[in-house]
Amino acid sequence: MTKPKKSSRRSLKKLAQRVEAIMIEELDRDNIEYDKVEARIYNVKTVGVQGDNRSYVHPTEIAIYNKGSLIYQPEFLAKLSNSITNQITDINRVAVLIKDSE
């Protein structure tokens, strides 16, 4: 049995940049103030459903900051999550950071 191929750091970084671009676009569209956005792509693959098909691609973790605090707006984050998974077929799950580790 062969192991699934791990993605290169470069390809994961490019995915993270694409996720961050979508985050900025959606924040600007909804006129939500923010100072910083972050996206991390995990070098694992998860099973998910995209459209009518199963997918075996990467999850992402996102965080949005304003004045040093994380932004938590459930309706906006749900819409953002859908935008990310609809626009980037290599992402099938979005985890949202809602509290910094202390």
101 within some domain: no
pLDDT at 53: 85
30 within some domain: yes
Question: Looking at this protein, which amino acid is placed at residue 72?
Answer: Y
Task: Give the model confidence (pLDDT) of 26-43 as tens digits.
Answer: 999 999 999 999 999 999
CATH number at residue 91: 3.30.300.10
pLDDT greater than 90 at residue 3: no
Task: Give the model confidence (pLDDT) of 33-86 as tens digits.
Answer: 999 999 999 999 999 877 788 889 999 999 999 999 999 999 999 999 999 999
Q: Is 57 in contact with 46 (CB distance < 8 Å)?
A: yes
Look at residue 3 and give its three-state secondary structure: coil
81 within some domain: yes
pLDDT at 92: 93
pLDDT greater than 80 at residue 7: no
Query: In the chain, how many domains are there?
Result: 1
